Amino acid sequence: MRTAAKKKVTLMLDAEVYESIKRTAGERGVGMYISNVMRPLVSKRLRTEGYKELAADKTRLQEAAQWESVDTELTDENTWQL
């Protein structure tokens, strides 16, 4: 991962969200975790690269096309009866 300038910020998070992040990332990894989660959401360059990678993944595109053809309309014929 690249080294970038860092900025100190104060965030207000729900206590439950903060505790979950802390459990996932560790006591001293909260900032890095939030940066890693947010980076793809705010970085156009990374989004563009990601889209290019997805477009190049022919297997994934074929699987997506198969899922697009799945009938998701719920009728009595294609639902489980309880």
Confidence grade of residue 51 (pLDDT, cut at 50, 70, 90): confident
Q: Measure Cα distances from 68 to 49, 65, 73 in Å.
A: 24, 5, 12
Amino acid occupying residue 50: G
pTM here?
A: 0.48
Specify the higher pLDDT residue, 66 or 21: 21
Per-residue pLDDT, averaged over 29-39, amounts to 91
